Amino acid sequence: MSDKPVDNGKRTWLIASSCAGVVGGVAAAVPFVSSFQPSERARAAGAPVEVDISALKPGEKMTIEWRGKPVWIVKRTKEQLDALPKVDSQLADPKSQRKPDELTPSYARN
């Protein structure tokens, strides 16, 4: 050890500048971290849309807007449902082995 006394002025300056650096770092990090959250506009654009389809009759089509684009909801008739196997060749994956409810959320299942 040295016989020199501790310079309290330097110690105070070191503590003060360290605290100022921490405060500055936090002040710079807060806007950066908050930028990870989507804006209100983005949240509103991707918000789920609820539609009452109880009045939809077989064979009718309803057009709604989601994210500025049209979405069509069709209630197929019995004849349309029976005709679906005839268009298997036009489907992307006609013999899919995936279970219908495997990836479909419970509220969207038939």
Question: Which residue type is seen at 88?
Answer: D
Q: Over range 92-106, report the average pLDDT.
A: 66
Q: Locate all alpha helices (DSSP H) within the chain, ordered by sequence.
A: 8-34, 40-45, 78-83
Q: Are 62 and 53 in contact (CB under 8 A)?
A: yes
Please tell me which residue, 9 or 18, carries the higher pLDDT value: 18
- Residue 39, CA distances (Å) to 44, 46, 47, 104 in order: 9, 11, 12, 28
Give pLDDT tens digits for 30-76: 998 888 888 888 777 777 888 899 999 999 999 998 888 899 999 98
What's the confidence (pLDDT) of residue 109?
A: 65
Better pLDDT: 80 or 89? 80
pLDDT value of residue 63: 94
CB 49 within 8 A of CB 62: no
Residue 3 has pLDDT above 90, yes or no: no
Region for 28 from its dihedrals, namely left if φ exceeds 0, alpha if ψ lies in -120 to 50, beta otherwise: alpha
pLDDT of residue 90: 75
Q: Is the separation of the CB atoms in 70 and 63 below 8 Å?
A: yes
The rounded percent of the chain whose pLDDT value lies above 70 is 81
Name the DSSP letter for residue 101: T
